[in-house]
Amino acid sequence: MQAGPHAAGYASGCWSATLLQDLIQRQFGVEYHPHDICTVLHNLGLSYQTACLVSDHLDTAKRLAWRHQTWPTVLERARQRKALLLFGDEASCAQWGSLSSTWAPKGHQPEVPTSGKRKSYKVFGLIDYCSGRFCFKAHTDRFNSESYAAFLHEVLAQTTQHIFVMQDGARYHTSKAMEELFAANAKRVTKVQLPAYSPDFNPIEYLWKKVKKLATQLKHFPACTRLQAAVDNALLHFAHIPQTIMARNVQCLCMLHTIGTTRSVGGWLLGSHAGTATVIRSGSACCRHALLTLYAHTIHRR
């Protein structure tokens, strides 16, 4: 199952109860009702979920090296210097809004008005690894080295502690201008590059999803100022509940092999299917055995 329908000879890339019904009938000569298959799948600990895109450029070796070598070293250096460990990234919120799932009467798909305007509101952000404190700066201009540098200067002005900035490989993060900035401020800030195509290593990515869910999903913004106000309110909401950010980001932090104890830091805040054969309606042990066999077989093949 984990290898996907393609590995079993199907054209579809998505498993459904009807595909599994056909597969079980082919391999075991028995047909079960799709509803019963769903029940057994659930009992096996599986769920029906949306897949996520994963870059085909991932370098597994580099990601492992970063987790097991670079990250522990950065943690220790930050501890020794009593520095702030800041994970940074940017988000863009579109005026035309965004869609999401919601409850609605059957047969009546929810409709959300949209201005169709291509404007957006952009946000620079940093999350402190140890406390969950959130620093941000929103603006309507483009992301570039100049605006990124201005944001970092404002952050540096808010604390006397040394700062470790964990950033991805965006061009305006690694430009010549930014290299010069980091070199000129080496006594105050240390740049740490995250491995390429690894947003799952950055806890702020989880926060952006929450900000957009609160501020823009299923909402109408006839004017950009309405969008800006909604995003600003969402940013301030999360900035004032750092404990929630920490609680929600625990999965990402555990992935990075959290070591040591959390320490407190100074407060700083910046805000600006069915078949034709006989259907057996039974979630019997035979059906469960068939699914377990398929599931275990795919794991063994991996």
Kindly state whether residues 91 and 171 are assigned to the same domain: yes
Q: Global pTM?
A: 0.73
Kindly state whether residues 157 and 285 are assigned to the same domain: no
The 10s digit of each residue's pLDDT in 21-72 is: 999 999 999 989 999 999 999 999 999 988 877 778 788 999 999 999 999 9
* CATH number of residue 199's parent domain: 3.30.420.10
Kindly state whether residues 223 and 285 are assigned to the same domain: no
Kindly state whether residues 221 and 93 are assigned to the same domain: yes
Kindly state whether residues 162 and 93 are assigned to the same domain: yes
In a domain, 13, yes or no: yes
In a domain, 263, yes or no: no
Kindly state whether residues 150 and 249 are assigned to the same domain: yes
Kindly state whether residues 24 and 154 are assigned to the same domain: no
Kindly state whether residues 93 and 235 are assigned to the same domain: yes
Kindly state whether residues 89 and 225 are assigned to the same domain: yes
Task: Give the Cα separation of 87 and 6 in Å (integer).
Answer: 38
Structurally, how many domains does the chain consist of?
2
Answer for the pair 14, 5: CB distance below 8 angstroms, yes or no: yes
Kindly state whether residues 238 and 126 are assigned to the same domain: yes
In a domain, 108, yes or no: no
The 10s digit of each residue's pLDDT in 97-156 is: 898 889 899 899 999 999 888 899 999 999 998 888 999 999 999 999 999 999 999 999
Kindly state whether residues 247 and 288 are assigned to the same domain: no
Range of the domain at 284: 5-33+279-301
Task: Give the Cα separation of 244 and 275 in Å (integer).
Answer: 48
Give the CA distances from residue 301 to residues 2, 222, 253, 294, 298, in Å, rounded to whole numbers and listed in that order. 10, 53, 30, 11, 5
